[in-house]
Structure 1
Amino acid sequence: MSGYYSPLTYTVPEHEDGWLLKTVLQRRLQVSRKLLSRLKLTEQGIMLNGERVYISVKVSAGDVLEVRMEQEESDDILPEPIPFTILYEDEHLLIVNKDSGVIVHPTHGHYTGTLANGVVHYWKSKGERFRFRPIHRLDQETSGVLAIAKNPYVHQHVSEQMIAGTVEKKYIAFVHGSPAQEEGAIDGPIDRDPEEPHRRIVTPDGYVARTLYTTVARWAGGSASAVNLKLESGRTHQIRVHMTSIGCPLIGDRMYKTLPVHEIDEQTMAVREERDTWIARQALHACELSFDHPILHNRMTFHAPLPADMAALEARLDVEASPREAL
């Protein structure tokens, strides 16, 4: 296998005749300075009509520019046959439906059994060499759509879309109680809880965080609800913290089930504790992800169906917390 591959090929149009190659790379192809510096040091990183050139040369209409990447591997990640579901794959991206309970990337104390271990094994089994580059993260117990870039150019461009707020991430959650308004926005800065650093809290000195929500169903007059959520920021545990902050913690969420701000009676608490046993993790699923493909330049939307444990929770709410009110 060659040590290089070409994720990006560009034919110079008439109106760019005479441009500096550097200008084409930065202005037209939006190659970051960091990546451009890396490509300049790569033996076959920047090729014009099949020849290695300096970025100071001028291009002509019809010239074919190739941005070539070195084949990379995640040598620090042990390949393991960890099962996962592929929603979409091309030579630039891998979109998967992550199962609950699976950590995305190896961390201290969790070097095996992660999604990364499974993806690296999958690529190796096909004779492919890519570095594991998740574009975003999901909590261990959160299921759903996750995007992985196969090269630094694609990772850069989707990450920039996330910073610009043009990536849409949608979730569905089953929560205790019901929001006071059927739909709205939760604006609450988030930071670590000084008393329990592994937790997050809403605090005036925290990082800006905004979550949009729409209530789509209620059970038993509002003792439980199904809520669609859209993130406008990506703070750790954001949905779990924000929903708890308005008195609607996620069903099954052991970390954020307490409500220090919202008083509830003992009977309601008992009902909630019972429902927390109906699912083994927080009832949160990343159901949809949308962004512009950095190479194909079309808007792409990926969907992950409701997982079995959340479907079972929904069915149990229909039976044991009826009536259900669809909104």
Structure 2
Amino acid sequence: MNRLEATIGPEDAGRRLGDYMRQPLGCSKRLIRRLKTDPRGIMVNGNRVTVRYQLAQGDRVSVAQGPTRPLTMPIEDRPLAIAYEDDLVLVVDKPADTPMYPRFKGDLGALSGPVLAHLQAAGGAPGFFPLYRLDRDTTGLVLLAKSAWAAARLAQKPPEKIYALEAFGRLPAAGSYSLPLAKGAGGLGRIWPVAKGGREACTCYRRVFTSADGLASGALVYLATGRRHQIRAHFAQAGHPLLGDPAYGGPALGHDRPALHVPYLSFHHPADGRLVTCFQPLPMAWSPAWPANYRKEDPYAHYLTESLCRYPEKIE
């Protein structure tokens, strides 16, 4: 099990261990609660101690990163497309028709299965710590921490994602949708914008192209909030449902699933805070009208698209 190791200097002598674990070690309250139940979760000078322990100069603190609870999800030896990996972080390209979690005990086919298998094969303690969820048929980059500690550190500065989509009709050059979202009547798991009530939601977009026949547009999207089905519901409400999304009224037009993908991701590394950026090209079956830099790695495009999606009113 990976551990956080530190030797106490004079500036931290006299502090309670629990306070030291919060800062500078960066452990969340939830992780600390879990570590209290682990016989080797919190140790000083090789001995198990409580968070009330008063630190002295020269003490050797050793804290487990987790996970500290039994694993219940199945481990599956399936292919896993890795976009970035180091000792603390894993970024994978999620394929279509793949839920994030098993639907029920023993269910196979979720992203968790091959992720856990990969971590286990590398000799680590397998745990599934995604920083966000993507819908079953949404493809693209998913950020995962390799421990509960790394997940807590990453959550302090949430990752930034840029989505790409293909929608029905001719989208305006740029815009935003801000109607709250609530579960729709009739079930089927659909979410709909509502004038009152619901959960706050804000979706900003920038159009990249419109097809010559005006039937479809490609756009980049930035989410100021992260609600279930947010992009699908907002664009459908505006009269531009995603292609291949019949649940929200989207025609196929060459797509057999919702045309939604995460090509750009950036996050602050849990170890030192440095900015890490990742790119995953658009699916090859998407419209050839997309500019070439969305089909190959272009590290500068990330900053450009993020800026435009955050501030669409600046687009001429």
1:242 corresponds to? 234
Number of equivalent positions? 292
TM-score by length of 2: 0.82
TM-score by length of 1: 0.79
CA distance in 2: counterparts of 1:305 and 1:255, whole angstroms:
26
Contact 1:5 1:68 (8 Å CA) reproduced: yes
Alignment counterpart, residue 213 of structure 1, candidates 200, 205, 215: 205
Tell me whether 1:35 sits opposite 2:31 in the alignment: yes
1:178 corresponds to? 170
1:192 corresponds to? 183
Give the drift of 1:196. 3.1
CA distance in 2: counterparts of 1:56 and 1:139, whole angstroms:
43
What are structure 1's unaligned runs of at least 5 residues?
A: 259-272, 318-326
RMSD: 2.8
- Matching residue's letter, 2:258: Q
Residue deviations 1:155-189 (CA, integer Å, cap 9, x gap): 23333434xxxx31110111112233x12221011
Distance 1:55 1:76, change over 3 A: closer
Distance 1:24 1:129, change over 3 A: closer
Please identify which structure carries the higher strand content: 1
2:216 corresponds to? 224
Within 5 Å, give how 1:1-327 maps onto structure 2.
4-6=1-3, 8-61=4-57, 63-69=59-65, 75-108=71-104, 111-162=107-158, 167-180=159-172, 182-203=173-194, 204-220=196-212, 222-257=214-249, 273=251, 276-310=252-286, 313-314=287-288
Distance 1:20 1:199, change over 3 A: same
Which deviates further from its counterpart, 8-17 or 202-211?
8-17
Residue deviations 1:55-103 (CA, integer Å, cap 9, x gap): 3333345544221145668643332222220112223222100011112
Residue deviations 1:269-292 (CA, integer Å, cap 9, x gap): xxxx4xx14121111101122222
CA distance in 1: counterparts of 2:290 and 2:272, whole angstroms:
43
What are structure 2's unaligned runs of at least 5 residues?
A: 292-315
Residue deviations 1:87-142 (CA, integer Å, cap 9, x gap): 12223222100011112211049811221122222233334331222221111111
Rg larger for: 1
CA distance in 2: counterparts of 1:126 and 1:28, whole angstroms:
28
1:265 corresponds to? none
- Matching residue's letter, 1:299: L
